A and B are shown apart, each in its own frame.
Chain A
Amino acid sequence: MACTDPAVAASGPVQGAARRRDGGLVEVSGLTWRPYGRRDPVLRDLTLTIPAGQRVLLVGPSGAGKSTLLRAVGGLLETADSGERTGAVTIDGMPAGSSAGMVGMVLQEPGAGIVSATVGRDVAFGLENVGADRTGMPRVVAESLRAVRLDKPADTPTSALSGGETQRLAIAGALALRPRVLLLDEPTAMLDPDNAASVRAVVDEVTRDRGLTVVVVEHRLGPWLDLVDRLLVLDRAGGIVADGCPGEVLQIHADSLAAQGIWVPGVPDPEPLRIPSGMFDQRSGEGTEPRGRVGGPAVRGEVGGAAVRGEFGGAELRGVRDVRVERVTRTIMGEERAVLAVDGVTASARAGRTTALVGPSGSGKSTLLLALAGLVDHTAGEAPATDVPSRELARQVAWVPQWSSSTIVARTVLDEALVSARAVGLADAVARPRALALLESLGLGDLLDADPRQLSGGEQRRLAMAAAVVHQPATLLADEPTVGQDRLTWAAVLGVVEAFREAGGAVVVSTHDDAVVARADDVVRLGAAAAAALPPASSPSSRLSGAARAASPTPPGRLPALPGPTRPRPSSPALSGPVDSSPDVPSVSALPPPPDPPAPAGPPSATTRRPLVSRCGPLALLGASLLGIPAGIVSPTWQASLLVVLAMVVIGGVGLWAPGSGAPPRGRLARVGVRMIPAAIGALSVGWSTWLLGHRDLEVAGTAGLRVVLIVLPAAFLLAYVDPDVLGDQLGQRLHLPARPVVALAAALQRVNSFGAVWGEISRARRVRGIGGTRSPRAVVGALSAMTMGLLVRALGEAAQLAVAMDARGFATAQRRTWYAAAPWRRADLLLVLAWLLPVAVAVVLASA
């Protein structure tokens, strides 16, 4: 890449090859930003000019204000934070953020900025905000999707995209508004190498085609250096310390950047941090023979298409054999989705050895770790029991999930590190010095009394590793422990892994990180592609018991017998209890595309039999179900109420009728029954208290109890068919409710289902850390409130991220919005409301008779 001196390049675009010249001139002058409650500004008197069409890589140590500067350029500083700002930021002379879609913003966490349930709607979000005409939207959506090489139908569910596809979708959403500047905040940090490469290629292509100005923040510089014209380095004080052509800047600053944790090409990978020997008790008699490891052991074989290498020495401490795990998620509407996450895999944790679990996203690595931990039920094969008491489990195994922040339970860093040690009853005289020494080596020594929730992501990751091993369980399981981390945290994570292993512990890590794999003793590669070739019954030799057979007749993530990627099952209408999921389940289709595209999870096609009531929109369903209230209030006696109930059952039954040929949908009546169970209890309770009071009169009590039944019965028939996505459309277009709260509600309803997964992860983390026991009611209340707190913190974090993404697409100024999808009031809607007025009429007639 030719590099002009950035300081003099302001006269014109650098990219000569651009077909269009959409890029904007970014000018930052004297910008200072101090969030309220902080003494020091995050950005300090920063002045910077980025010529139109220039591509800038912005780097700096963690906490240097890189993301803050990106938000400032987008005019998004005050979107999710409050503080004091001086100075100015302009794009082509106009204040940043003064018009919708001037900049496009891509956030680090894939999906953080997803607004809608389907790909097409999501891309159209910005168009809706600027009030674009609906008829023109599909064309712009299609163009934008093509530009990011996302060749999917517009009704593809956004939840079915891989991490890389999700990031490309975010770019498409930005392109729809024809931005002048594209801002990318560590867009590939959370992705596996293939997905990361696809995102970089798309960024390169679209910005070159349109001549866009680009600012990208990354702390792995290598892959980006060829794509950028300029390298800008911020320091911890919030100022610019280096600025120029990438090659020249690196010549001078490579070593200091590496020392600050940035991954600089040409600088060797860091050595794992030396944790002082003697930190852990040496486990005896568990075969810790010496081994050469740097460079990695030789490939030992190919088992079931899963490449396996290593000696697989050492005693097996935990293992799974031919294990099959289905992950079941329940939606808020009571639908269950089962996904085959792992099938026919054999793997083990071996004393004194590190096993790296590798394979593409969605191949089931995270689920396999859960199976090894005994934290998820399996349907076939052998795996550790899932009913081990919490404290006993903590003695056996530690598990560090990808989201280390959601597992925090203590109020100080030191207490957090000691949680499991205290739970398993390890003497303070042993645990405390070990925790102190470990935290000191991991660079957390000055933060012992800090609130762990206030730490940076890297600090939280180091703390989670420390907290996992202070009580020295037999096995350490870590899920992608180095993903998105800088060199400092990388070295700390690997330091803990190596010290733990040297002391005879068994380590299993799932990873995409070649440097981690190179340091592992044994490697097990799960793969979707390998699966098809596998003869189902070929079991590995005992010598290769550590081998994984990533084995299923169809790619993992799809169940063979069923047409779609998910399998709806009749079930209780409930998020009943902790819902199972893991970080790799949402990205199940992060797999290479299956041979036949899965049917979209939207409305079933016309040939499928479905209940009449499912043709009605959410407003009609809600309105009709409200009619139980007047019916209940008006109905005068229990005899009248029974007649009204009869009318409701008939009407409800007709609504559930699914005409047509073929297999009828199952579980329709069961669903109604389940939804009536709590109502029945409520009716008994009201009836009983009325009986108690009302002169022990059974008739009065019966009337009161049946009133409850009348109020609920329509809802039991109808609410299961409310489509949360369409609800937003109807509230906005039919009821003309204010658009912004309605859109926010629709976005939240989509994410409610993921709250169940968060809850499950928090409860698993508590269990494995030894504090999952439910002994006294007080402990239960304490645990419930701690978990609710964890869920709320996570939900609020998502809201703040989403606010940035939505404002970047013009949501802040969307007073006169248009809607991508129409929300007509159909004849079926009218019929439904009229039909459910009948029971009210019956009640009125009987009351006046």
Chain B
Amino acid sequence: MSSIRSTSASPAARRTRSIRATPPLLGWRTVDILTVVFLGAALGIAYWGWSLLYQGPSTVLGGLFPPLQGITGAPWLMAGVVGGLVVRRPGAAILCEVVAALVEMLPGTQWGTATFVSGVLQGAGAELGFLLLGYTSFGIGAALLAGALSAPFEVVYEWFTYWTDWTWGWKLAYGGILVVSGAVIAGGLGWLLTRALARAGALGAFPPGQEAREAGGLH
């Protein structure tokens, strides 16, 4: 039954591959769900803060070359990456990003309910990244991929809502910039954040926490 769950073996040897979630892969524990949702909620507050702050840098970049605004859009892709990296189960990335978007939306942003739509599209992209790797790899490469793939759906949606009158050259440039900055900012920083959380002892029940403990030597 639920709490009497088989747990994966724990070889003390240094791992080169990612530790996977306890099987079955779709057997979400309560702590998995709660952690994804709480992470999403906390990041949603951060998203909301960023929605107030980003205008400055975004305007500067947009003044240089409007599609560069994709760079300031990348932080909003982080929750999906982090949710996936922490819990490592199918659905974690999209759930985390959607919750973050929902929490960001409630106090009010400049996108209204469209915030939520973006969250679904971005989360679906991140989820696709982890899916392509079969939910087996959760290193920096997987993070970069999930970060990059968080962008495309969102880009297409924005073409038809916000950037309708741009040339295709600008539209494609915007897409490329959001993909790259998604990989670097959401993927890279998301990976660093996950590692930092694990080292802080906050992920004891999750594979990253186990990896951190094993990397730090047994004590």
Contact = CB atoms under 8 A, between A and B. Distances in A.
Interface of A: 35-39, 75-85, 95-99, 332-334, 451, 453-454, 573-575, 622, 625-626, 628-629, 632-633, 674-675, 678-679, 681-682, 685-686, 688-690, 692-694, 700, 703-704, 707-708, 711-716, 719-720, 722, 724, 740-741, 744-745, 747-749, 751-752, 755-756, 759, 788-789, 791-793, 795-800, 802-803, 806-807, 811-813
B111 A633 contact: no
**Chain B interface mostly:** helix
6 contacts: A78-B5, A80-B31, A98-B1, A575-B48, A759-B45, A792-B193
B38 A79 contact: no
Contacts of A625: 112-113
A682 B204 contact: no
A759 B114 CA distance: 27
B210 A82 contact: yes
A715 B108 contact: yes
A748 B99 contact: yes
Contacts of B46: 788
Interface in B33-50: 33-46, 48
B3 A689 contact: no
Contact of A453 (B28, B170, B200): B200
B202 A813 contact: no
B22 A82 contact: yes
A741 B33 contact: yes
B140 interface: no
Contact of A796 (B38, B106, B113): B38
Interface of B: 1-5, 7, 10, 22, 28-31, 33-46, 48, 51-52, 55, 58-59, 62, 66, 69, 95, 99, 102-103, 105-114, 116-117, 160-167, 170, 193, 196-197, 199-206, 209-210, 212-214, 216, 218-219
Report which residue of B10, B42, B66, B206 has the largest number of chain A beta carbons within 10 angstroms of its beta carbon: B42
Given A79-B3, A95-B4, A711 B39 contact: no
A807 B51 CA distance: 36
B31 A95 contact: no
A95 B52 CA distance: 52
Given A795-B39, A796-B39, A333 B62 contact: no
Given A81-B204, A712-B110, A752-B41, 11 more contacts: A37-B210, A78-B29, A96-B4, A681-B110, A719-B108, A747-B37, A792-B193, A796-B38, A798-B38, A803-B30, A806-B30
> Top 9 A-B pairs ranked by shortest CB distance?
A37-B213, A715-B112, A678-B110, A97-B3, A812-B2, A712-B112, A803-B31, A682-B110, A39-B218
Contacts of B38: 748, 751, 795-796, 798-799
Contacts of A748: 34, 37-38, 40-41, 99, 103
Given A334-B108, A678-B110, A788-B46, A75 B34 contact: no
A791 B42 contact: yes
A539 B1 CA distance: 66
A391 B26 CA distance: 51
Report which residue of B52, B113, B193, B213 has the largest number of chain A beta carbons within 10 angstroms of its beta carbon: B113
Contact of A812 (B3, B37, B109): B3
A716 B210 contact: no
Contacts of B212: 37
Nearest to A724: B106
B39 A685 contact: no
A626 B117 CA distance: 9
A711 B161 contact: yes
B112 A795 contact: no
Given A95-B4, A752-B103, A451 B201 contact: yes
Contacts of A685: 55, 58-59, 62
A716 B106 CA distance: 10
A335 to B, nearest CB: 11
